[in-house]
Amino acid sequence: MIQAIVFLPLLAAIVAGLGNRALGNTVAKAITTGALFVSCALSWPIFIDFLSGNAAAQVVPVLQWMKSDDFDVLWSLRVDTLTAVMLVVVTTVSALVHLYSWGYMAEDDSQPRFFAYLSLFTFAMLMLVTADNLVQMFFGWEGVGLASYLLIGFWYHKPSANAAAIKAFVVNRIGDFGFMLGIFGTFLVFGTVSIPEILAAAPGMAGSTMGFLGGRVDTMTLLCLLLFIGACGKSAQLGLHTWLPDAMEGPTPVSALIHAATMVTAGVFMVCRMSPMFEASHTAMTVVTIVGAATALFAATVGTTQTDIKRVIAYSTCSQLGYMFFAAGVGAYGAAMFHLFTHAFFKALLFLGAGSVIHAMHHEQDMRFYGGLRKSIPITFWAMTIGTLAITGVGVAGVFGFAGFYSKDAIIEAAFASGTQIGGIAFAVGVFAALLTSFYSWRLVFLTFFGTPRWAASEHIQHAVHGEHDAPSAEHGDSPHHDVHAPEGTAGYHPHESPWSMLVPLIALSLGAVFAGWVFQRPFLDAEGGAEFWKGSLFFDAHLMHEMHLVPTWVKLSATFAMLAGLLIAWWAYIRDTSVPARFAGTFRGLYAFLLNKWYFDELYNLIFVRPAFALGRLLWKKGDEGTIDRFGPNGAAALVAGTSRVSVRLQSGYVYTYAFVMLIGLAGAATWAIAG
């Protein structure tokens, strides 16, 4: 069964990719989508078996992969509770994204290629989560990187898409270099790349040291930090996050797949999988907590000013990943995976809902050109409202709550229950980030679905009305203006609801956003039930989970009050008094510009890394390659040959007396040499 789950998407990708236009759009879509729904249907029984306690971890060998002396790597598929959770996340979201893409990509000329890339992406992620050794994990790790490059740059005729794809690839290479060093170091220390063997031996390595860069460092700290650098790249943590917002240049289904089920969750999964290693280093755990909390805060602040609907949701992904990491950093790995699980449903819902809005607005992505859409696209409105209720954590303890209410609040409570100073800081940051999350999430809803329609101001809508050509996407997020004053009316254009191929996935994901937290909270988080559920597939601190449920009432209510505060501020600024945003931006110009420009990370990296790299490249090109190598190498040799040829041409005059004269000189020279000898 597990072989079919993993390899069906690969087979579908090969058939659709090689068949391409020969198969036709419908056949290629049917093959890839059907394969994903079969994988999804086979994944849920595995998860349910682990949920009911009727399943045990198993390893299914596939083939002998690499063998060199003592280095022996089997390609095996590991199935345990952690894998089972990831299987349902990856296959469910991927299957629904495939179905959604039938409607969203209906007018695209390269549908077989797109669906082949989607399936390849899913296969790579499945390889990653079923890995039984670090080499196999790295194979899937690089596979999702390749697939993301192909999908982000799918509209290759757009320079911005090409640039975004390259940026994602390059930034992830930085993180992957650290990940590779971590794998090399782990093999050096443990003598194996088998994950179960490494995790079994990890506690015994606590306190040991190893040589690194001419000094002695703590072994487990070094290995964990190197592995974590890879996680920062894949999961877009602060410092290596800059590729994630630009990834919005790909089609919207790609955004949903990258942000909800694949790629960005790989780092969280890896840290949880290797959790016994991280538990052996207090320093590594502290770093993970700090980076996660900082990312949650950074991304939430930036999300409050963005106007591109997809970028707002992208920064919310970055922020929610920060929550997952600081949960892992304080030892609440079960809470981190629970938030990963619920986040997959409501984040895919939000992205696909945004795609439905963009589809209705003829590919306009700037929220300032929306307004009043709730009556035109009611199903999309309610789906995105449900997603917003889930991500902001709306609920009443002991009664009912949306998905994020259980998972995000559990992370905040776990940070407080950890009892450490850094845990207390993470708790405070988590509460403040919850306020910002509520603000920018409801801001998106109010700007999009409420207020006066502002469609007439949109250049894209004007093009649509007059039948002009329209680009696949628009980029208005860097505009310094919050409010666009447009004449009332729609200039003849009327938004329309998406086709059912797009709406059915929204409805399915809405069910997950509503019920996933309520249904599954006990097996993921309960002190006794959690230990039984995870069965050692990650480090489960039952004491921390027990203490998490005993935190003071004000701690449990803090996230709810923060959510209400964010909702109230958003309502006041975008419904009650719409002049507030412009007045705030005018009063706090520096702060607003700082947040609008994403803390100037791109500009800083451009100044520190990109420009010097280009300058060095030009120097090596002009002075090194052309000025030295070419000058004295191929160009110099060619010039020497050309000069010699010119001299030789002069000697080859064609006159007999010239040749006789040369022969005479030669004979005279030979005679002189003979006499002198």
3-state DSSP of 10-22:
HHHHHHHHHHHHH
The closest of 230, 225, 326, 235 to 280, measured between CA atoms, is 225
Instruction: Determine the pLDDT at residue 456.
Output: 67
Q: Is the pLDDT of residue 405 over 90?
A: yes
Determine the pLDDT at residue 55: 83
pLDDT surpassing 50 at residue 433:
yes
Residue 669 φ/ψ region, left for φ over 0, alpha for ψ in the -120 to 50 degree band, beta for the rest: alpha
The tens digit of pLDDT for each residue in 509-541 reads 999 999 999 999 888 888 888 888 898 889 998
Q: What is the pLDDT of residue 470?
A: 35
Question: What is the reported pTM?
Answer: 0.87
Tell me the domain boundaries of the chain. 63-74+168-596, 597-632, 644-677
Residue 484, CA distances (Å) to 31, 326, 447, 598 in order: 45, 38, 11, 22
Cβ contact 27:19 at 8 Å: yes
- Tell whether the model's pLDDT for residue 16 goes beyond 80: yes
pLDDT tens per residue across span 599-608: 999 889 888 8
Enumerate residues 6+ apart whose C-beta is below 8 A from 307.
366, 367, 368, 476, 477, 479, 482
The C-alpha atoms of residue 341 and residue 328 are separated, in whole angstroms, by 14
Predicted pLDDT of residue 99:
94
Residue 76 is predicted with a pLDDT of 92
Q: Residue for token digits 């797949």?
A: 257
Span 203-257, pLDDT tens digits? 988 888 888 888 889 999 999 999 999 999 998 898 888 888 888 888 888 888 8
What confidence tens digit (pLDDT) does each residue in 440-479 have? 999 999 999 998 888 766 666 656 555 443 333 333 333 3
Binned at pLDDT 50, 70 and 90, residue 435 comes out as very high
Residue type for 28, please? Answer: A
Residue 518: C-alpha distances to residues 82, 333, 344, 551, 609 (Å): 20, 19, 15, 20, 47
pLDDT value at residue 482:
41
* Residue 459 identity (one-letter amino acid): E
- What is the rounded average pLDDT of the residues 112-135? 93
Cα separations in angstroms, 672 against 347, 426, 659, 660, 664: 95, 97, 20, 18, 12
Percent helix, percent strand, percent coil in the chain, to nearest 5:
75, 5, 20
